[in-house]
């Protein structure tokens, strides 16, 4: 078990990922250190060697989405980090961090204002969890959710203008990691690994 007061720093692809990582770190009884948001996989991977060096002095977590980059999380992990590092928690969200959010069907249904039965029961099997989340938001009974999270017709965007802010709000106020881990194997393994870190 992690000593009380442990600090874990992290690096992630985007702002929603940062909110998720901070919540998970607190969830396992540690405190979030600096969380570096790299705006995509390319920059995150470029800095990986530096995070490995930093992990010699303090525990670190790096979270990356599987997306369509590899068939499974172990393949992506091996590609990015051939040699495991005991103080670097390198985790892969299958297929994206949004699958972890979808896995808390009860919390998400309340937040979006939709029936929980509409939320996919196996979010890790979705090819594009973020797109699925946006579609669900489009069926919300809450007008502001639809306006904020769903792109306007003809905008060419994949999500609405305030999608990240709404998802961060959901993570802070409604998302329950343990409940979500019951339907997300990659999240369950991440929580276990963080506890061991």
> Where residue 4 falls among pLDDT bands split at 50, 70, 90?
very low
Together in a domain, 60 and 147:
no
Together in a domain, 79 and 123:
no
Classify residue 141: in a domain, yes or no: yes
pLDDT per residue as tens digits for the range 70-97 = 999 999 999 999 988 888 999 999 999 9
Q: Per-residue pLDDT for 1 more than 80?
A: no
Together in a domain, 79 and 145:
no
Classify residue 2: in a domain, yes or no: no
Classify residue 56: in a domain, yes or no: yes
Together in a domain, 90 and 15:
yes
Domain limits for position 71 = 7-98+177-196
Together in a domain, 74 and 21:
yes
Question: The domain that contains 21 carries what CATH number?
Answer: 3.40.1360
Together in a domain, 108 and 92:
no
Classify residue 40: in a domain, yes or no: yes
Classify residue 1: in a domain, yes or no: no
Number of domains in the chain: 2
> Where residue 5 falls among pLDDT bands split at 50, 70, 90?
low
pLDDT per residue as tens digits for the range 9-45 = 999 999 999 999 999 999 999 999 999 999 999 999 9
How far is it, in rounded angstroms, from Cα 142 to Cα 122? Answer: 25
What is residue 2's predicted lDDT score, i.e. its pLDDT?
46
The mean pLDDT of 93-104, rounded to a whole number, is: 98
Beta strand 60-65 with 88-93: parallel, antiparallel or unpaired?
parallel
Chain mean pLDDT for the chain:
95
Beta strand 7-12 with 88-93: parallel, antiparallel or unpaired?
unpaired
Together in a domain, 82 and 12:
yes
Together in a domain, 129 and 186:
no
Together in a domain, 17 and 84:
yes
What is residue 46's predicted lDDT score, i.e. its pLDDT?
96
What is residue 87's predicted lDDT score, i.e. its pLDDT?
87
pLDDT per residue as tens digits for the range 155-197 = 999 999 999 999 999 999 999 999 999 999 999 999 999 999 8
DSSP string, the chain: -PPTT-EEEEEESSHHHHHHHHHHHHHTT-EEEEEEE-SSHHHHHHTHHHHHHHTTTS-EEEEEE-TTSSSSHHHHHHHH-SS--TTEEEEEESS-HHHHHHT-HHHHHHHHTS-GGGS-S-GGG-S-HHHHHHHHHHT-S-HHHHHHHSPPTTS--SS-TTHHHHHHHHHHHT--HHHHHTS-HHHHHHHHHHHH-
Together in a domain, 71 and 134:
no
Together in a domain, 22 and 109:
no
């Amino acid at each position: 078990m992690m000593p009380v007061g442990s600090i874990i720093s992290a690096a992630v692809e985007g702002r929603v990922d940062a909110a998720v990582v901070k919540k998970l770190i607190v969830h396992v009884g540690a405190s979030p250190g600096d969380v570096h948001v790299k705006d995509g996989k390319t920059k995150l991977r470029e800095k990986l060697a530096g995070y490995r060096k930093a992990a010699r002095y303090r525990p670190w977590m790096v979270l990356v989405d599987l997306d369509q980059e590899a068939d499974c999380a172990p393949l992506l992990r091996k590609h990015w980090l051939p040699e495991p590092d005991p103080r670097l928690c390198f985790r892969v969200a299958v297929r994206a961090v949004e699958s972890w959010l979808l896995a808390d069907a009860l919390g998400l249904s309340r937040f979006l204002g939709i029936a929980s039965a509409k939320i996919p029961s196996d979010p890790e099997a979705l090819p594009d969890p973020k797109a699925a989340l946006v579609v669900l938001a489009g069926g919300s009974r809450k007008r502001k959710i639809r306006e904020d999270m769903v792109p306007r017709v003809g905008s060419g965007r994949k999500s609405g203008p305030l999608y990240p802010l709404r998802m961060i709000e959901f993570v802070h106020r409604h998302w329950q990691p343990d409940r979500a881990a019951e339907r997300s194997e990659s999240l369950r393994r991440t929580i276990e690994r963080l506890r061991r870190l």
